[in-house]
Structure 1
Amino acid sequence: MKLAKKIGLKHLIPFLPLLALYVVLILVFSPDQLVGDEGRYMYYANNIIEGFYADTSDPWIRNGPGYPLAITLPVLLKTPFLLIRLLNVVFLAMALLLFYQLLAMFIKTPRIVIAICYLLGLYPPLARSVTGILSESFSIFLMCGFLFFFVKLCTHQFKQGRNLFLSGLFLGVLALTKVIFGYVILLGILGCLVTFIFNTSKKIKLSLFTFILSFLFCIPYLAYTQHVTGKKFLWGTHSGEMLYWRSTPFENEYGDWVSADIITGKSESNYIDTESLVANHGEFIKSLEPYSAIERDSIYKEKAIENIKNHPTKFAKNTVASGFRLFYNYPYTHMPLKVSTYFYLLPNTFLIVFLLITSFLVFTNIKVVPFEIYILGFLSIVLMGGLTLLDGRVRHLLPIIPILIFLIAYTLNRFLQVKIINREA
Structure 2
Amino acid sequence: MLHGFFSPPPPDINLWSGPGYSIALIPFAVLNLPYIYYALLNAVFYYLAVVFLYKALVKITQPMLAKLSAILLALYHNVYYLLPAIYTEIFTMFLVSLFIYSLTIYYALGKKNYLIITGIVIGFLALTKVIFGYVIVIAFFSCFLFFISGRGKKFRKASLTILLISMLVTLPYLLYTYKLVKKPFYWGNAGGMSLYWMSATSELEYGDWKVPNLTNSLNPNPFKTTEGDSMLKANHSAQITRILSYHGVTQDSLFKQAAIRNIKAHPKKFIRNYYYNVSRLLFDFPYSYSYQITQTIQNIIIGSFILWASVAAGIVSIINRRKIIYPVKFALLIFAIYFLLSGMLSAYARMFDVVVPILLFWMAYTFGQIPAINLRFTQPD
Q: Does 1:320 align with 2:275?
A: yes
Q: Deviations over 1:151-196 (max 9, x none)?
A: 2223323x21x10111011111111111111111111110111001
Q: Is the 8 A contact 2:65 2:364 kept in 1?
A: no
| Structure 1 contact 92–141 (Cα < 8 Å) conserved | yes
Q: How big is the shift at 1:232?
A: 1.2
- Could you tell me which of 36, 50, 58 is aligned with 1:96? 50
Distance of 2:31 and 2:53 partners within structure 1? 31
Please, which of 240, 244, 267 is the counterpart of residue 289 of structure 1?
244
Do structure 1's residue 363 and structure 2's residue 318 form an aligned pair? Answer: yes
> Does 1:199 pair with 2:155?
no
Please list, as runs of the form range in 1=range in 2, the aligned pairs for 1:137-286 lying within 5 A after superposition. 137-157=90-110, 159-160=111-112, 162-199=113-150, 201-262=153-214, 270-286=225-241
User: Which residue of structure 2 aligns with residue 42 of structure 1?
Assistant: none
2:296 counterpart of 1:341: yes
Cα distance, 1:313 vs structure 2? 1.0
Matching residue of 2:40: 86
TM-score for the superposition, normalised by structure 1: 0.84
**Once the 2 structures are TM-superposed, how far is the Cα of residue 416 of structure 1 from its aligned partner?**
4.8
Letter of the 2:321 partner, please give it: I
1:131 Cα shift? 1.4
1:73 shift after superposition? 1.9
Q: What stretches of structure 1 move > 6 A for 4+ residues in a row?
A: none
Distance in 2 (alpha carbons) for counterparts of 1:336 and 1:226: 43
SS in 1 for 2:138: helix
Does residue 409 of structure 1 match 2:364?
Answer: yes
Query: What is the CA-CA distance between 1:378 and the residue it aligns to?
Result: 1.9
SS in 1 for 2:90: helix
Q: What amino acid is aligned across from residue 91 of structure 1 in structure 2?
A: F
Rate the CA distance shift 1:248–1:130 in 2: closer, same or farther, 3 A: same
User: Structure 2: where are the runs of 5+ without partners?
Assistant: none
Q: Name the TM-score, length of structure 2 as normaliser.
A: 0.93
Give the whole-Å Cα distance in 2 for the aligned partners of 1:378 and 1:289.
Answer: 37
The question of whether the paired residues in 2 share the 8 Å contact of 1:123 and 1:347 is answered with no
Alignment partner of 1:393 is 2:348: yes
1:125/1:313 CA distance change after superposition, 3 Å: same
1:97: Cα distance to partner? 2.0
Distance across 2 between alignment mates of 1:397 and 1:417: 31
User: For residue 214 of structure 1, what is the amino acid of its counterpart?
Assistant: S
**AA in 2 matched with 1:132:** A
- Cα displacement string for residues 382-406 of structure 1 (whole angstroms, at most 9, x for unaligned residues): 1111111112211101221110110
Give distance in 1, aligned partners of 2:114 and 2:216. Answer: 50
- Paired amino acid for 1:62: W
User: Does structure 2 conserve the Cα–Cα contact (< 8 Å) formed by 1:98 and 1:148?
Assistant: yes
The answer (yes or no) to whether the contact 1:263–1:281 under 8 Å persists in 2 is: no
Aligned partner (choices 120, 128, 135) of residue 81 of structure 2: 128
User: Given that residues 142 and 174 in structure 1 are in contact (C-alpha distance below 8 angstroms), is that contact kept between their aligned partners in structure 2?
Assistant: yes
**Range moving further from structure 2, 327-336 or 196-205:** 196-205
What is the aligned-residue identity percentage?
Answer: 29
Report the Cα distance in structure 1 between the residues aligned to 2:241 and 2:365, rounded to whole angstroms: 51
Cα distance in 1, alignment partners of residues 298 and 249 from structure 2: 38
1: CA distance between counterparts of 2:320 and 2:98?
27
Q: Hey, what's the Cα distance between the residues in 2 that align with 1:179 and 1:273? A: 31
CA contact (8 A) 2:225 2:291 kept: no
What is the rounded CA distance, in whole Å, between the counterparts of 2:326 and 2:336 in structure 1?
A: 15
CA distance in 2, matches of 1:333, 1:406: 34
What is the letter of the counterpart of residue 183 of structure 2? K
Q: Which has the higher contact order (CA 8 A, sep 6+)?
A: 2
Task: State the superposition RMSD in angstroms.
Answer: 2.1
Preserved contact between residue 88 and residue 130 of structure 1 (Cα < 8 Å): yes
Equivalenced residue count is 375
CA distance in 2, matches of 1:264, 1:353: 32
Summarize deviations over 1:107-135 as a string: whole Å, max 9, x none.
Answer: 343x4422220101111111111111111
